[in-house]
Amino acid sequence: MTGRRSAEEIGSTPTGPRALPPLGPQRSVPAPEEVDTVLGSGLRVVAVRRPDVPMVELRLRVPFADTSGRDDSAHAAVAEVLATTILSGTSSRSRVGIDDDLAGVGGEIGFSVDPERLSVSGHALADGLDTLLDVLADLVLAATHPDDELARERERLVERIELASAQPSVIARRALQERRYGAHPVTREMPRPEEVTAVTADAVRSLQASALLPGGSVLVLVGDLDPADAVARVEKALAGWSGGRAAPLPALPELRARDLLLVDRPGAVQSQLRLSAPAVGRTDPRYPALQLANLALGGYFSSRLVENLREDKGYTYHASSSLELDPHGAVLAVETDVASEVTGPALLEARYELGRLAVVPPTEDEVESARRYLVGSLLISMTTQAGYASTVAALAAHGLSSSWVREHPARLEAVTTDEVAAAATEFFAPTRFTGVVVADAARTGPGLHALGGVEIP
Partner 1 sequence: MTSSVTAPARGLHRRVLDNGLRVLLVPDAAAPVVGIAVHVDVGFRSEPEGRTGFAHLFEHLMFQGSESLEKLAHFRHVQSSGGVFNGSTHQDYTNYFEVLPSAALERALFLEADRLRAPRLTHENLRNQVDVVKEEIRLNVLNRPYGGFPWILLPPVLYDTYPNAHNGYGDFTDLEQASLDDAAAFFDAYYAPGNAVLTVVGDLDPDETAALVDKHFGDIPARAVPTRPSFAEPPPDGERRESVVDANAPLPALALGHRLPDPHADLPGYLAHAVLASLLTDGEAARLTQRLVYGDELVTDVSASCGLMGAPLDARDPDTFTVTAVYPGTVDPQRIIGAVDDELATLAADGPDPDELRRVTARWASSLHREHDRLMSRMLALGSAELVQGRAELADELPGLIAAVEPSAVAAAAGSLRPDQRAVLTVTPGGAA
Q: Hey, which residues between 413 and 452 contact partner 1 (CB under 8 A)?
A: none
Member of 177, 321, 369, 402 binding partner 1 (CB under 8 A): 369
**Considering the complex, what minimum distance in angstroms separates the CB of residue 28 from partner 1?**
7
Member of 73, 95, 400, 453 binding partner 1 (CB under 8 A): 95
Member of 40, 72, 91, 96 binding partner 1 (CB under 8 A): 96
What values do phi and psi take at 47, rounded to 5?
-120, 130
State the first-to-last Cα distance of the chain, in angstroms, to the nearest integer: 62
User: Which parts of 184-243 interact with partner 1 (CB under 8 A)?
Assistant: none
6 binds partner 1 (CB under 8 A): yes
Judged by CB under 8 A, the stretch of 98-106, 195-203, 233-241, 356-364 that binds partner 1 is: 98-106
User: Which parts of 310-329 interact with partner 1 (CB under 8 A)?
Assistant: 310-318
Cα gap 351→257, rounded to integer Å: 14
**Considering the complex, what minimum distance in angstroms separates the CB of residue 12 from partner 1?**
6
Judged by CB under 8 A, the stretch of 65-73, 111-119, 294-302, 411-419 that binds partner 1 is: 294-302
- Cα–Cα distances in Å, from 39 out to 118, 236, 394, 432? 19, 11, 19, 43
Cα gap 293→427, rounded to integer Å: 9
**Considering the complex, what minimum distance in angstroms separates the CB of residue 408 from partner 1?**
14
Sign, CA dihedral 65-66-71-74, equals negative
Nearest to 145 by CA among 66, 101, 84, 195: 84
**Considering the complex, what minimum distance in angstroms separates the CB of residue 18 from partner 1?**
5
Q: Which is nearer to partner 1, 182 or 314 (CB)?
A: 314
Cα gap 3→17, rounded to integer Å: 24
Q: Which is nearer to partner 1, 25 or 457 (CB)?
A: 25
**Binding residue count for partner 1, defined by CB under 8 A:** 94
| Stretch 242-281: interaction string toward partner 1, x if CB under 8 A | -----------------------xxxxxx-----------
Residue 151 CB neighbour total at 10 angstroms = 12
Judged by CB under 8 A, the stretch of 33-41, 46-54, 240-248, 416-424 that binds partner 1 is: 46-54
Member of 77, 87, 137, 296 binding partner 1 (CB under 8 A): 87
Q: Which is nearer to partner 1, 151 or 209 (CB)?
A: 151
**Considering the complex, what minimum distance in angstroms separates the CB of residue 88 from partner 1?**
9
User: Which parts of 20-39 interact with partner 1 (CB under 8 A)?
Assistant: 20-29
User: Which parts of 53-82 interact with partner 1 (CB under 8 A)?
Assistant: 53-55
Q: Which is nearer to partner 1, 166 or 450 (CB)?
A: 166
Member of 92, 112, 383, 416 binding partner 1 (CB under 8 A): 383
| Residue 124 and residue 237 in contact, taking contact as beta carbons nearer than 8 Å | no
Q: Which is nearer to partner 1, 17 or 452 (CB)?
A: 17
User: Which parts of 111-170 interact with partner 1 (CB under 8 A)?
Assistant: 123-127, 152, 155-156, 159-160, 162-163, 165-168
Judged by CB under 8 A, the stretch of 63-71, 239-247, 275-283, 332-340 that binds partner 1 is: 332-340
Q: Which residues pair with 331 in a beta bridge?
A: 278, 324
Q: Which is nearer to partner 1, 224 or 426 (CB)?
A: 224
Cα gap 228→37, rounded to integer Å: 10
**Considering the complex, what minimum distance in angstroms separates the CB of residue 452 from partner 1?**
25
Q: Which is nearer to partner 1, 29 or 450 (CB)?
A: 29
Judged by CB under 8 A, the stretch of 40-48, 106-114, 207-215, 400-408 that binds partner 1 is: 106-114
**Considering the complex, what minimum distance in angstroms separates the CB of residue 193 from partner 1?**
11
**Considering the complex, what minimum distance in angstroms separates the CB of residue 309 from partner 1?**
10
